[in-house]
A and B are shown apart, each in its own frame.
Chain A
Amino acid sequence: MTHPLDEAAIAQVFRREFGQAVATLTRVFGDLDVAEDAVQEAFVVALCKWPEAGLPPNPGGWITTTARRRAIDRLRRESRREERHAQAALVERPGGASEEEDAFMHDDRLRLIFTCCHPALATHAQIALTLRLLGGLETSEIAHAFLVSEATLAQRLVRAKRKIAAANIPYRVPDDAELPDRLRGVLAVVYLIFNEGYAASTGDAVVREDLCAEAIRLGRLLATLMPDEPEVAGLLALMLLSAARRPARTASDGSLVLLPDQDRSRWDRALIAEGQALVRACLRRNRPGPYQLQAAINAVHSDATTAADTDWQQILALYDQLMALAATPIVALNRAVAVAEVHGPDAALEVVDGLDLEGYHLFHATRADLLRRLDRSAEAAAAYERAAGLADNTAERRFLEQRRKLQLKTPPT
């Protein structure tokens, strides 16, 4: 190792291995708190030992072994009530090399994901648990990213872990019959984490980028653990293709740049290539789902070297397919944007006006844009105003207000 092993470097290694270590220890000890505390203790040990001894050859194995010993020590010290946990764990298993143990460890992270994202837990608790236990983020980092106080977030975690223990939420991968439903829940949590990071908002930009990276890391992990689930690949592709545009989404002054106006040379070509390869693999598999279709739509966008080159026919066809699978008003609204390109703003406005999305700022923003293209300036300005009033993020609000002012300057025709 040429890099100095300072605290930050060690923290990085721990964050990478945190999920696996917590997942394995939870299986061994049957308790999330015991597992989490033990991994935290192993971190303290590493801070003492690693700077001098250097990085162990298998850091993940070292962390799990050290944490397991710490947990056993602690359980030995603690009350008799814990005796059966300790007894169970004291039976030394063959070292991490056995195939059986490897298979267990492989599934441990899946067990942990499905437990963290159990539908009996509130969504915000699922997100917090996933980021903390699987992602290894600090409580303060998660609180910061979601704009809640550290105390609130810590309480959410405590309450969720207490419910898992008290209500006996099982630590297992759902069986085939339950899997489709439960997997949808897991993917929704990962996508929520991604979107929280992706939305250009008032929060700390670095923290938010971290959330996107973490969601993509979780997506990659799921894709490795569940290679036969096309929607897992679809979600990963969708996140990669969206993240690829991230550098072009904000101007130097922090303002928002919409897709047609983005400098496409700033898109991340490596992420696009990876995302497009996943989309192609999904197409070959031919088991479409909502994430795969959204990824495919993004793949078409990323194929176009200029906004004018966009193959809107294909995007509209993909939206039609998406509507057949998941006919939500939001999908219908996004489809309307493609309708405008293929059939004109008149046809799109008709679609949009039939949607019941009064409280959604992008409904008004989309309407405003269509009205602007139809030279109905006064109505466009009113719609921009309504959109700005509903937008809760500063960059978007500023953008919408600017658009509104532009409409007011344009004399009605």
Chain B
Amino acid sequence: MPKYLLSVWYPPDATQPSPDELARIHEDVTAVHAELETAGAWVFGGGLHEASTATVVTVRGGDVLVTDGPFAETKEQLGGFSVIDVADLDAALSWADKTSRATGCPIEVRPFIEEPGA
């Protein structure tokens, strides 16, 4: 079955949620993950620390360049992701709907390239 990356994007105007809100979001997201597991659609995923904790490694002409990240300085930030394994895009979109409700963030759905013979 096709796999999809569901990535959680913090919009540019997002404010840091209060501890209470964070706890609720965590609970809701855990519930969606559990539902995905029960449905046999869960592959892998998790939340990410903020983009300022990222490091970028670039190899150019044999030299390794390590820089303070993130790679793309965008106002939107990748907050976390799930990889799911479902029948088709409609199924992936309905999981994205649930994830968006749980996180309060837009979810980008992107198909994985299918490995030949997989």
User: Which A residues form the contact surface with B (CB < 8 A)?
Assistant: 81, 118, 120, 166-170, 174, 178
Segment at the A interface, from B7-15, B70-78, B86-94: B86-94
B19: Cβ under 8 A from any A Cβ: no
Decide if A120 touches B116 in the complex (CB within 8 Å): no
Chain B residues with CB under 8 A of A120:
89, 93
Chain A residues with CB under 8 A of B109:
167
Decide if A169 touches B116 in the complex (CB within 8 Å): no
Q: How far is the CB of A170 from chain B (nearest CB, A)?
A: 4
A to B CB contacts below 8 Å, 7 in the list: A118-B89, A167-B110, A168-B89, A169-B88, A170-B88, A170-B89, A170-B90
Decide if B116 touches A81 in the complex (CB within 8 Å): yes
Decide if A168 touches B2 in the complex (CB within 8 Å): yes
Decide if A168 touches B111 in the complex (CB within 8 Å): yes
- How many contacting A-B pairs (Cβ < 8 A)? 25
Chain A residues with CB under 8 A of B93:
120
Give residues 61-118 of B contacting A (CB, 8 Å): 87-90, 93, 109-111, 113, 116
Chain A residues with CB under 8 A of B89:
118, 120, 167-170
User: Which B residues form the contact surface with A (CB < 8 A)?
Assistant: 2, 4, 87-90, 93, 109-111, 113, 116
Residue of B nearest to A81 (CB): B116
A81 to B116, CA, bound (A): 9
Q: How far is the CB of A116 from chain B (nearest CB, A)?
A: 14
A120-B89, A168-B2, A169-B90 given; name 8 further pairs at CB < 8 Å. A120-B93, A166-B111, A167-B4, A167-B89, A167-B109, A168-B88, A170-B87, A170-B88
A169 to B113, CA, bound (A): 14
A178 to B113, CA, bound (A): 27
Residue of A nearest to B110 (CB): A167
Q: How far is the CB of B110 from chain A (nearest CB, A)?
A: 8
Chain B residues with CB under 8 A of A81:
116
Q: How far is the CB of B57 from chain A (nearest CB, A)?
A: 29
Q: How far is the CB of B117 from chain A (nearest CB, A)?
A: 10
A374 to B97, CA, bound (A): 51
Chain A residues with CB under 8 A of B88:
168-170
A118 to B90, CA, bound (A): 9
Residue among A81, A167, A174 with the highest chain B CB neighbour number at 10 A: A167
CB-based closest 9 A-B pairs:
A170-B88, A167-B111, A168-B88, A168-B2, A167-B89, A169-B89, A168-B89, A166-B111, A170-B90
Chain A residues with CB under 8 A of B87:
168, 170
Residue of B nearest to A166 (CB): B111
Chain A residues with CB under 8 A of B110:
167
Chain B residues with CB under 8 A of A168:
2, 87-89, 111
Chain B residues with CB under 8 A of A169:
88-90
Chain B residues with CB under 8 A of A118:
89
A81 to B113, CA, bound (A): 15
Chain A residues with CB under 8 A of B111:
166-168
Chain B residues with CB under 8 A of A174:
90
Residue of A nearest to B1 (CB): A168
Chain B residues with CB under 8 A of A170:
87-90
Q: How far is the CB of A82 from chain B (nearest CB, A)?
A: 12
Residue among B2, B88, B90 with the highest chain A CB neighbour number at 10 A: B90
Chain B residues with CB under 8 A of A178:
90
A120 to B111, CA, bound (A): 12
Q: How far is the CB of B78 from chain A (nearest CB, A)?
A: 20
A282 to B88, CA, bound (A): 36
Residue among B87, B111, B113 with the highest chain A CB neighbour number at 10 A: B111
A178 to B93, CA, bound (A): 12
A167 to B113, CA, bound (A): 9
Q: How far is the CB of B86 from chain A (nearest CB, A)?
A: 9
Residue of B nearest to A165 (CB): B111
Q: How far is the CB of A67 from chain B (nearest CB, A)?
A: 25
Chain B residues with CB under 8 A of A166:
111, 113
Q: How far is the CB of A342 from chain B (nearest CB, A)?
A: 44
Chain A residues with CB under 8 A of B2:
168
Chain A residues with CB under 8 A of B116:
81
A178 to B89, CA, bound (A): 14
Q: How far is the CB of A255 from chain B (nearest CB, A)?
A: 47
A174 to B113, CA, bound (A): 25
Residue of B nearest to A164 (CB): B89
A157 to B80, CA, bound (A): 32
A118 to B111, CA, bound (A): 16
Residue of B nearest to A119 (CB): B93
Chain A residues with CB under 8 A of B4:
167
Q: How far is the CB of B66 from chain A (nearest CB, A)?
A: 34
A120 to B96, CA, bound (A): 13
A178 to B111, CA, bound (A): 22
